[in-house]
């Protein structure tokens, strides 16, 4: 339905006169009459009756005009919401993230972002690389943190930082006093494979390149589970440096020969409109990362 027709009818009902409605809307009386007549033709019933020289809603008008007024109010609210969104002052920003990034980097980013855009509702969803890619592709996330290059993801990925993997062990483990270790030295250690498929692939390829097939104690995509096995002394694990502070009661050891690394990037779908809040969020991330990496 034409909103101009709805506005004319609602205003006639409010002031009880076509003339006063025209004055209120800044239209001619003829234009208001035409709008109302067009709406009545659309509905198939008259919206107004004359009673003592005053225009009052008919039975059809009583059934329709209150709802029309609410519909116009909703449209106005929607218009204001979009205007706020386009100014970067409101709306919802949906961020998909890897667990380690969500636990370490995102709190700092969120703090800086909320100071600049306090009315934007920030929603964070955690998952593995494939989950983040799926949420971005299906439109349930506006921006996502990913590891390396994600297959079948039609998105622009901006690298943010590269980090090493470290070996984490129980404090009483014989290796706990070491500062650095090679993969060959842990070839016989029971392993907890940690992180998502990308992290596991990095580890598996590194071992395979050296002809090593370490015994596997557990495979888990959940960092808490991996940490639990290490904390219990059941296994050792290779985890990205970013993840180590999320694990309590473990000792971290640098790994060499070879160094294992991953790159964290921020991704946005190529064919989707970037709202000002998305652009602002990415800018905050880029400004936060250098100081975060130093720490």
pLDDT for residue 223: 81
pLDDT for residue 1: 78
**C-alpha dihedral over 70, 76, 80, 82, to 10 degrees?**
100
Token representation of residue 203:
């580890």
pTM: 0.69
Regions in the chain scoring below 50 on pLDDT = none
Domains 92-160+263-294 and 162-262 share a fold: yes
What phi-psi label fits residue 173: left (phi over 0), alpha (psi between -120 and 50 degrees) or beta? beta
Cβ burial of 53 (10 Å; 0-12, 13-18, 19+) is exposed
pLDDT for residue 254: 95
H/E stretch holding 66 reads helix 59-86
pLDDT for residue 90: 67
pLDDT for residue 205: 87
pLDDT for residue 171: 95
Phi, psi angles (nearest 5°) of residue 253 = -130, 135
Do the Cβ atoms of 132 and 141 come closer than 8 Å?
A: yes
pLDDT for residue 104: 87
What phi-psi label fits residue 216: left (phi over 0), alpha (psi between -120 and 50 degrees) or beta? beta
The listed CATH number (3.40.50.920, 3.40.190.10, 3.40.50.150, 2.60.120.620) that belongs to domain 92-160+263-294: 3.40.190.10
pLDDT for residue 145: 93
Q: Report the topology of domain 162-262.
A: D-Maltodextrin-Binding Protein; domain 2 (3.40.190)
Judge if the upstream peptide bond of residue 258 is cis by omega within 30 degrees of 0: yes
Strand partners, 193: 219
pLDDT for residue 165: 92
What phi-psi label fits residue 43: left (phi over 0), alpha (psi between -120 and 50 degrees) or beta? alpha
| Pairing of β 216-219 and β 191-193 | parallel
Phi, psi angles (nearest 5°) of residue 159 = -60, 140
């Amino acid at each position: 339905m034409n909103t101009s027709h709805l506005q004319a009818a609602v205003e006639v009902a409010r002031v009880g006169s076509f003339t006063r409605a025209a004055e209120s809307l800044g239209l001619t009386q003829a234009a208001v009459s035409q709008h109302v007549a067009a709406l009545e033709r659309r509905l198939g019933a008259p919206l107004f009756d004359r009673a003592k020289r005053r225009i009052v809603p008919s039975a059809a008008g009583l059934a329709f005009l209150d709802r029309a007024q609410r519909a116009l109010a909703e449209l106005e609210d929607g218009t204001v919401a979009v205007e706020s969104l386009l100014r970067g002052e409101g709306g919802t920003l949906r961020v998909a993230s890897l667990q380690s990034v969500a636990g370490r980097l995102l709190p700092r980013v969120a703090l800086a972002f909320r100071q600049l855009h306090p009315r934007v509702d920030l929603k964070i969803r955690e998952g593995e690389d494939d989950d983040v890619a799926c949420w971005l592709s299906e439109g349930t996330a506006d921006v996502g943190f990913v590891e390396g290059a994600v297959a079948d993801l039609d998105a622009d990925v901006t690298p943010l930082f590269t980090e090493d993997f470290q070996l984490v062990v129980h404090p009483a483990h014989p290796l706990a006093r070491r500062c650095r270790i090679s993969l060959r030295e842990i070839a016989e250690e029971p392993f907890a494979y940690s992180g998502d498929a990308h992290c596991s692939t990095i580890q598996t390829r590194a071992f395979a390149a050296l002809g090593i097939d370490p015994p596997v104690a557990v495979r888990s995509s959940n960092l808490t589970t991996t940490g639990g096995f290490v904390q219990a002394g059941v296994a050792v694990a290779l985890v990205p440096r970013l993840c180590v502070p999320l694990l309590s009661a473990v000792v971290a050891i640098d790994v060499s020969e070879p160094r294992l690394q991953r790159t964290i990037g921020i991704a946005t779908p190529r064919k989707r409109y970037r709202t000002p809040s998305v652009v602002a969020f990415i800018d905050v991330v880029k400004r936060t990362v250098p100081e975060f990496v130093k720490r």
